[in-house]
Chain A
Amino acid sequence: MTQIHVVTSANRHLYEDTLDSYHRIRHDVFVTERGWRAVARADGRDIDSYDRGDTVYLIAIDGDRVVGGQRLTPTTASHMLGDIFPDLAAVKGVPTGPSVWEASRYFVVRERRSGRTDCMMLAAVQEFGLDEGITHYSAVIETWWLPRLQEAGFVVRPLGLPTLIENQWALAAEVEVRESSRDRARALGGITGSVLVRRGPQIPLIPQVEHAT
């Protein structure tokens, strides 16, 4: 059964093998399959300057296989939209703040692209945001994904016009964290209850937020 594991600096020692396989699969998806030559690496692992200590990974694992992932970075530190793609947010500007996190490198492995794993990943990112007090995600999304996110109940605000990147239309957007979005993504995927797995030590993502646990 597929579940979405939360991997942070506090529990990554429990996920060393998983993370290695995650970076290899990321390289397969983004470099080999989609042709992003700029992030190609000789060791066959997609790792860049945004894979840091404060980066959080939501990794879809089935048994011991990585079948999907997404990466979250705080917008209070260096992040891609601010550093590389500010032009994409030319109309509305780049949103930043402690409760705004950037989502990037979203993928589901080829053989799992029938929809359900995507719904789990989308439900997971909403659930995680609600747990941690994140109010918005910023992201560069492929434009053809916009109606898919909306179908999953995501409230998406564009920050600029679609732009051609690596032969693919993409746009910068801000996604609200909402219970209704989490519930709609779950319903679309036929998922009941939480999809997140938290193993080992947990740290609050945003220190100012009070946690129930």
Chain B
Amino acid sequence: MIESAGFDHAQEAFDFVELLDKLSSPDEIMNQMEKSLGRFGFENFILTGLPNPHQKAEQMVLARKWPQGWFEIYIKENYVAVDPVVRLCRNSVNPFDWGEAPFNRDTEPRALEVMNRASDFRMANGFCIPIHGLTGYEACVSLGGVNLDLSPRTKPALHLMGMYAFEHIRQLMTQKNESRFDRLTAREREVLTWTAVGKTSAEVAEIMNLSKRTVDEYSVRAARKLRAQNKTHAVVKALQQRLISP
């Protein structure tokens, strides 16, 4: 978008940051990013952790609106290992234009390749905001497009918007994961309730009309969710946390 006289990038950034508090899902945040960042000309963006050598790049992604074809090529070619933007992101605390990420055209043909191929997917230029956690977590917010309003005036606004978007999505996804892993299902609670009154798993199986193997699976899953050492420990923890009644 061509900058109009009335476009106040600082106000845009603050409106965005304040709006984030009212959004309750990563999708809503992505939609808002599309609108707000669109006013700066950005079409695509990704919020992702940076993989260590033992992690897969695609599993680190928190959220993306990224050309699907490009994402697939990027993963298939393992470009994360040679991408100059990723390399600079790990080594910089300041945000930067993709074009500023240095590489040697003669000795790093794969780096040149990744930069050239990105342009084929309407990602001629972009802005990368590195995230460095307190205990070694590395991530980035990367924004791409063709006709960008990316100037010394607008960059501080984009910097702030990117960091707040990342934090809100990270928070929402952490909450989602915790509840998915930690909340007991009705069946798991029922198994623990019968176990708490002294029934063996064979007896519980009969009461609940399930196989003993299924009952054992419920116990194991409940124990894992409660971070308990065994079935008995799981019962104690469930009672303490009032997930089942004595």
Which residues in A have some Cβ–Cβ distance to B below 8 Å? 90-92, 114-116, 118-119, 142-144, 146-148, 150-152, 158, 160-163, 168-169, 171, 188
Given A144-B132, A147-B132, A148-B133, decide whether A171 and B160 contact each other with a Cβ distance below 8 A: yes
Q: List 13 A-B contacts (CB under 8 A).
A: A91-B11, A91-B14, A144-B132, A147-B163, A147-B167, A152-B134, A161-B13, A161-B157, A162-B159, A163-B156, A169-B95, A169-B156, A188-B135
Q: Are B163 and A148 in contact (CB under 8 A)?
A: no
Which residues of chain A have C-beta atoms less than 8 A from B40's C-beta?
Answer: none
What residues of A have a CB within 8 angstroms of the CB of B17 in the complex? 158
Say yes or no: A115-B136 contact (C-beta < 8 A), given A144-B130, A169-B94: yes
Interface pair B10/A119, CB less than 8 Å apart? no
Residue B166, interface by CB 8 Å: yes
A contact residues around B130 at 8 Å (CB): 144
Q: Report B-chain residues with C-beta under 8 Å of the C-beta of A114.
A: 135
* Distance in angstroms between the alpha carbons of A168 and B167 in the assembled complex: 21
Residues of B within 8 Å of A160, CB to CB, are 10
Are A144 and B135 in contact, with the CB atoms below 8 A? no
C-alpha spacing A170/B238, complex, angstroms? 47
Of chain B, the residue at the smallest CB distance from A116 is B135
Interface residue? B208 (CB, 8 A): no
Given A91-B10, A161-B10: A143 touches B134 (CB 8 Å cut-off): no
Does B60 make an interface contact (CB < 8 A)? no
| Chain A residues with CB under 8 A of B94 | 144, 168-169
Residue with the greatest number of chain B CB neighbours at <10 A, chosen from A90, A116, A144, A163: A144
- Complex contact A151–B93 (CB within 8 A): no
A151 contacts across to B, CB distance below 8 A: 133-134, 137
Q: How many residues of B contact A (CB 8 A)?
A: 23
Q: Which residue of B lies closest to A143 (CB)?
A: B159
- What residues of B have a CB within 8 angstroms of the CB of A150 in the complex? 167
A158 in contact with B134 given A147-B166, A147-B167 (CB within 8 Å): no
Determine the distance from Cα of A91 to Cα of B158 in the docked complex, in whole angstroms: 15
Interface of A is mostly: mixed
The residue that B135 contacts in the complex, of A91, A92, A115, A143, with Cβ under 8 A, is: A115
What B residues does A116 contact at CB under 8 A? 135
A-B contact count (CB 8 A): 58
Residues of chain B contacted by A163 (CB below 8 angstroms) = 156
Q: How far is the CB of A154 from chain B (nearest CB, A)?
A: 10
Question: Chain A contacts of B166 at CB under 8 A?
Answer: 147
| Residues of chain B lying within 8 A (CB to CB) of residue A168 | 94
Q: Which residues of B contact A92 (CB under 8 A)?
A: 14
State whether B160 touches A119 (Cβ < 8 A): no
Q: For chain B residues 105-152, which have a beta carbon within 8 Å of chain A?
A: 130-137
Q: Are A162 and B167 within 8 A (Cβ)?
A: no
Given contacts A91-B14, A144-B94, A147-B166, are A161 and B156 in contact (CB under 8 A)? yes
Which residues does chain A contribute within 8 Å of B163, judged by CB atoms?
143, 146-147
Could you tell me if A158 and B156 are in contact, using CB atoms closer than 8 angstroms? Answer: no
Among B130, B131, B137, B163, the most chain A Cβ lie within 10 Å of the Cβ of: B163
Q: How far is the CA of A103 from the CA of B117 in the complex (A)?
A: 46
Q: CA A114 – CA B156 in complex, angstroms?
A: 28
For B156, list chain A residues within 8 Å (CB): 161-163, 169
CA of A92 to CA of B186, assembled, Å = 48
Q: Point out the residues of chain B lying under 8 angstroms from A90, CB to CB.
A: 10
Question: Whose C-beta in chain B lies nearest to the C-beta of A90?
Answer: B10
Tell me, in angstroms, the Cα distance from A92 to B18 when the chains sit together.
12
Q: Which residue on chain B has the smallest CB distance to residue A114?
A: B135
CA distance A146 to B136 in the complex (A): 15
A158-B167 CB under 8 A given contacts A144-B130, A144-B132, A151-B134: no
A119:B159 contact, CB within 8 angstroms? no
* Least Cβ–Cβ distance between B56 and chain A, in angstroms: 23
- Contact call A119/B134, Cβ cutoff below 8 A: yes
What is the distance, in angstroms, from A181's C-beta to the closest C-beta of chain B?
Answer: 13
- Give chain B nearest CB distance to A97 CB in angstroms: 21
Question: Residue of A at shortest CB range from B139?
Answer: A147
1/0 contact trace for B81-105 toward A, CB 8 Å? 0000000000001110000000000
| Among candidates A115, A118, A144, A161, residue contacting B160 with C-beta atoms closer than 8 Å | A161
| CB of B17, distance to nearest CB on chain A (Å) | 6
